[in-house]
């Protein structure tokens, strides 16, 4: 039952990450001005935006590959979620030390915190699913 929800959610998260990464690589200036709040975080830096774009390509590939290949799901989703979670915590830290106002948390929630929470939920489900399958004697 949960599988019918988790796999499509992972695919959507993966496709979103890929789309964001492609946008960052193809049009760093366009991405910089299109994403709410980015212009308030510092001056435009094409190299930095493209570096992060590459990370988003890897995140997207991890979630999509995990959606297709169960045997790699935990490690791929876990690694991608670790980066997403650290990224979200960094945004919270910026508010805590006064770099950004608290309104940034609400503004950033859909694109920063929510994907981290979704990744965590998917990873925990993948662990539970693997444990359940191992108790049932399933190998694939």
**What's the whole-model pTM score?**
0.93
Nearest CA to 34 among 20, 48, 45? 20
pLDDT tens profile 96-136: 999 999 999 999 999 999 999 999 999 999 999 999 999 99
Is residue 15 one of the residues assigned to a domain?
yes
Q: pLDDT tens, 16-74?
A: 999 999 999 999 999 999 999 999 889 999 999 999 999 999 999 999 999 999 999 99
What range defines the domain where residue 103 resides?
Answer: 3-34+43-135
* Residue 79 lies inside a defined structural domain of this protein: yes
Number of domains in the chain: 1
In a domain, 61, yes or no: yes
Domain assignment of residue 140, yes or no: no
**Helix or strand (DSSP H, E) at 102:** none
**Residue 140, pLDDT score:** 58
Is 54 within the bounds of a domain?
yes
The gap between the terminal CA atoms of the chain, to the nearest Å, is 17
What are residue 136's phi and psi, to 5 degrees?
-90, -5
């Amino acid at each position: 039952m949960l599988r019918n929800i988790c796999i499509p959610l992972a695919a959507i998260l993966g496709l979103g990450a890929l789309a964001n990464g492609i946008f960052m690589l193809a049009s760093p200036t366009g991405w910089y001005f299109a994403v709410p709040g980015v212009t308030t975080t510092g001056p435009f830096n094409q190299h930095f935006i493209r570096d992060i774009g590459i990370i988003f390509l890897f995140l997207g590939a991890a979630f999509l590959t995990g959606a297709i290949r169960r045997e790699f799901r935990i490690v791929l989703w876990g690694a991608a979620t670790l980066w997403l979670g650290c990224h979200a915590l960094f945004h919270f830290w910026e508010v805590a030390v006064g770099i950004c106002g608290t309104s940034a948390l609400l503004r950033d929630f859909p694109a920063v915190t929510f994907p981290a929470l979704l990744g965590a939920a998917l990873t925990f489900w993948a662990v539970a699913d693997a444990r359940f399958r191992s108790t049932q004697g399933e190998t694939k």
